[in-house]
Amino acid sequence: MVSRNTIRIKVMQSLYTFFISTDKDILLSEKKLINVFEDMYRLYIKILALFSPLTIVAEQVIETKKNLFLAKADDLSPNMKFIENEFIKKISDNQSLQKHIQKYGVGWENDIEMIFVRKFYDSLTNQQVYIQYMQDDEESFAKDKAFILKLIEEFFLDNEDMIHYLSEMKLSWQLDYNDVILMVYNTLKSFKKQQADDISLPPLFKIIDDEAISEDRQFMSDLFLKTIKNDLEYEDIITQKLHNWEADRIATIDLILLKMAICELCNFPSIPIRVTMKEYIEISKYYSTPKSRIFINGLLDKIVDELKENNKIKKQGRGLMG
C-alpha cells in the first residue's frame, strides 16, 4: 500500500540521521526505521476510525437542537442523511478496522478527542461538498460512497486543523498526513456494498501471493542496510566523477541520494534504471538544494555508464525496460 517513493524518502531520512549520528548502531537504526512505518500505519487507522465519531457528533448536535426551547421546524424534523450514511456504516462495521483500533489505541472516544471531532464536524458542515450532499434527495450506497471520497479529496487533504491536531500527538504525522490520506482514499475506493465485514484491511507493505515477507518491506530493509554496508565504495564511485571537487562539498542529502541510487542500481535487478534515476532526481527537488536536481541528474548519467562498463548493473524482468 505504501509507495516505493515514500519508502525511498523514509530510508533517506533514516540514513541522514544515521550518518550524522555519533552512535552508529545499525540494528537500532533499522528498528527505528521500521517504527517510522508502523507510526504511519497507526495514523492510517486513526483517520479511518474518524468517520463513525463524526456521525456521533452529528447526532448529538441534532438532539441538542431538538431540545431547544424555541426549536425550529428543521430542528424537530432534521436531515439524517449524514448520520445514516451507508458507506460510513460499512467502514465502521469492518472487523479488521475495529481490531486495529483496539491494537493501536487510536480511537476517538475520549472527551478531549471528541472536542476536536466536534470542531472538525462544524467545519465540515460548512463545506460545499457537504451542503450539496445533504440537499440531494437521492439516497444510495453509491451516492454515500462518492460523497465520502469527495470529502476526503476536498476537505481532508491538506486540512491544516487536522494536521496541526495530529502533529501535537506525534510530530512525524505532520509529514505523513497527506500520504496517509491517499492511502485512506485508495482503501475506501475499493470498498463495495456487498463485501464481507470481516475482509482485512490492506497491510502497509503490499504482499503478493504467498510471499513470506513483502517485497516492498524487503526493499526498504535492503536499501537501508546495503547503502550503509557499501558506503565507502559508493562514495569512492561518486568522488571519482567529481573532478577536483571533494565529496565533503556536496550537500549531505545529495550524497545520500546518490549512494542510495547506486545501491538501487546495483542490488535491485527488477527495478529499471530509468525508474531509479527519475525517482532520486525527483526526491532531490523537494528535499535538497535548488540546483541538486541538475547536479544529481548529471552525475548519475556518468555513474550509470561506468557501472554498466564494469558489469555492476544486472537487470532482469521489469528491470530490462530501461
Per-residue pLDDT tens digits for 277-292 = 999 999 999 999 888 8
Mean pLDDT of 169-192: 96
Predicted confidence (pLDDT) at residue 247 exceeds the cutoff of 70: no
Record the pTM.
0.91
- Unique residue bearing C-alpha cell 544486472: 314
Cα 162 from Cα 169, distance rounded (Å): 11
Predicted confidence (pLDDT) at residue 69 exceeds the cutoff of 80: no
pLDDT at 220: 97
Cα 235 from Cα 262, distance rounded (Å): 10
Predicted confidence (pLDDT) at residue 316 exceeds the cutoff of 90: no
- Unique residue bearing C-alpha cell 457537504: 130
Confidence of residue 211 (pLDDT cuts 50, 70, 90): confident
pLDDT at 274: 95
Confidence of residue 209 (pLDDT cuts 50, 70, 90): confident
* Amino acid letter for position 244: N
Confidence of residue 75 (pLDDT cuts 50, 70, 90): low
The DSSP call for residue 322 is: -
Predicted confidence (pLDDT) at residue 196 exceeds the cutoff of 70: yes
Mean pLDDT of 34-63: 96
Mean pLDDT of 137-156: 97
Confidence of residue 318 (pLDDT cuts 50, 70, 90): low
Mean pLDDT of 240-261: 84
Integer angstrom CA distances of residue 275 from 43, 164, 200, 278, 294: 29, 34, 31, 5, 17
C-alpha cell at 186: 485508495
pLDDT at 81: 96
DSSP secondary structure string, 112-123? HHHHHHHHHHHH
User: What is the torsional sign of CA 43, 46, 50, 52?
Assistant: positive
Integer angstrom CA distances of residue 92 from 52, 57, 85, 101: 6, 15, 11, 11
Range in 9-18, 36-45, 50-59, 204-213 with the lowest mean pLDDT: 204-213
pLDDT at 248: 64
Helices (H), the chain: 4-20, 26-48, 51-66, 73-76, 86-92, 95-104, 111-124, 128-135, 141-151, 160-169, 172-189, 215-229, 231-240, 252-267, 273-287, 292-309
Predicted confidence (pLDDT) at residue 319 exceeds the cutoff of 70: no
Interacting residues of 18 by C-beta distance below 8 A, sequence separation 6+: 24, 26, 29, 228
Angle at 178 between CA 174 and CA 179, to 5 degrees: 105
DSSP secondary structure string, 237-263? HHHHTTSS--GGGS-HHHHHHHHHHHH
Confidence of residue 206 (pLDDT cuts 50, 70, 90): confident
Q: Domains in the chain and their CATH numbers?
A: 4-189 (no CATH), 230-321 (1.10.940.10)
Q: What count of other Cβ atoms lies within 10 Å of the Cβ of residue 47?
A: 22
pLDDT at 322: 58
Q: In this predicted model, which residue has the larger pLDDT, 199 or 76?
A: 199
Predicted confidence (pLDDT) at residue 320 exceeds the cutoff of 80: no
Predicted confidence (pLDDT) at residue 250 exceeds the cutoff of 90: no
Cα 210 from Cα 223, distance rounded (Å): 22
Average pLDDT, the chain: 92
105: left (phi over 0), alpha (psi -120 to 50) or beta: left
Cα 93 from Cα 73, distance rounded (Å): 33
